[in-house]
Amino acid sequence: MSAPAERSVSVNGVPCRIWEKGQGSPVFYLAGIAGLPRWTPFLDRLAERHRVVVPSIPGFPGAAGHDRLDQPLDWVAAVLDLLEGAGLAGGDLIGASVGGTLAAEAAAMAPGLVRRLMLIAPFGLYDKASPPADPWAQKPGTLPALLSARPETYAAFVAPPEGSDVGEWSIAATRAGEAAARLLWPLGDTRLERRLHRIRCPTLILWGAEDKVLRPSYAERFAAGIAGKSTLRLIPDAGHLADLDAPGAAAEAVFEALD
């Protein structure tokens, strides 16, 4: 994997990292619950055919400023600033997990901004019969198996690179957890469901068949609420972070939706 190019855009006066790689029609990606401590094989697959643009959401690796976002509206405005600043203007947008929530909010609140939307297991809805699992109340060592069907892949994804400052790496990882919690704690209904009808663009909904955080039944509720033509795809042998667990299958599904 070659390294992505890096620039930044300012959101509320705080710089947010933008990674970019590949050629072709642009596709934007908002990352999941841990953010992107490093580039991933899924993004590399996309970069084989597209210019992949990856803005970091405030508080996630590469971007600070989550501590000034108090209300959902603050978050939506920040993400719109981020996406517009990164150059999304009527382009294609993928959002995974936490990033999926904000991608869906952005598409609902600024319908002209997104041409085609791809959501990978976003948070935001609440099913009383199957509430989200709580990633912030896990016994030490159990989080990887909750988030991923391949815990060792997840562990490697978040592990500090050799020679890095382990203490600061761990603080950045905690900060990502905090940012996600700041937006979603305590994982109740964010009212996104009431805004789904404003998503009028074609939408692909991807879900890991083995998602233990948000059961795949949530996928159908997203599909039912979205006004645009929605396609639902379950990815076998993948957990909540489906694009990390099954980069090939996830990328193929995206290519089908885009090409």
Partner 1 sequence: MKLMWFHLMPYTRLPEDFRERHNSVWVDLDRRLFDPAFAHQLYNEFMDELEYAAALGFDAICVNEHHSNGYGLMPSPNLIAAALARRTSEAAICVLGNSLALYNPPTRVAEEMAMIDCISGGRLIAGFPVGTPMDTCYAYGQNPSQLRARYLEAHDLVLEAWTRSETFAFNGRFNQQRYVNIWPQPLQRPHPPIWIPGGGSVETWQWCAARDYVYCYLSYFGYKAGRETMMGFWREMERLGKDRNPYRAGFLQFVGVAESREEAMRLYKEPAEYFYGRCLHVDPRYANPPGYNSEATQRAKITSQVSLAAQRSATMTGGATWDEILAKGFVIIGSPDEVAEQLRTVATDLNVGHLMLLLQFGNMSRDLAGYNSRLFAERVLPQLRGLFDDAWQDRWWPTPLPKAARAVPQPVDAREAAE
Q: Which residues bind partner 1 (CB under 8 A)?
A: 66-67, 70, 136-140, 167, 170-171, 174-175, 177-182, 185-186
Rounded to the nearest whole angstrom, what is the least distance from the CB of residue 236 to partner 1 in the complex?
A: 30
CB of 105 to partner 1, least distance (A): 18
**Shortest separation between residue 136's beta carbon and partner 1, angstroms:** 5
Q: How far is the CB of 168 from partner 1 (least distance, A)?
A: 9
- CB of 177: closest distance to partner 1 in angstroms? 3
Nearer to partner 1 by Cβ, of 165 and 256: the residue is 165
Q: Which amino acid is at 16?
A: C
Is the alpha carbon torsion for 177, 178, 184, 185 positive or negative? positive
Rounded least distance, CB 143 to partner 1, Å: 10
Contacts of 40 (CB under 8 A, 6+ apart): 157, 243, 244, 247
Closer to partner 1 by Cβ: residue 169 or 255: 169
Shortest distance, CB of residue 151 to partner 1, whole angstroms? 17
Query: Nearer Cβ to partner 1, position 80 or 180?
Result: 180
d(CA 138, CA 173): 15
Residue closer to partner 1 by CB (options 126, 136) is: 136
Looking at the Cβ atoms of 55 and 135, the one nearer to partner 1 is 135
Distance CA 55, CA 37 (A): 12
Closest by CA to 205, choosing from 242, 180, 153, 150, is 242
CA distances from 11 to 1, 30, 81, 82 (A): 29, 15, 6, 6
Torsion of CA 144, 131, 232, 142, to 10 degrees: 10
Kindly tell me which of 3 and 137 has the beta carbon lying closer to partner 1: 137
By beta-carbon proximity to partner 1, the closer residue of 107 and 176 is: 176
At 134, give phi and psi (nearest 5°).
-100, 100
Contacts of 256 (CB under 8 A, 6+ apart): none
User: Residues 152, 157, 161, CA angle at the centre, nearest 5°?
Assistant: 115
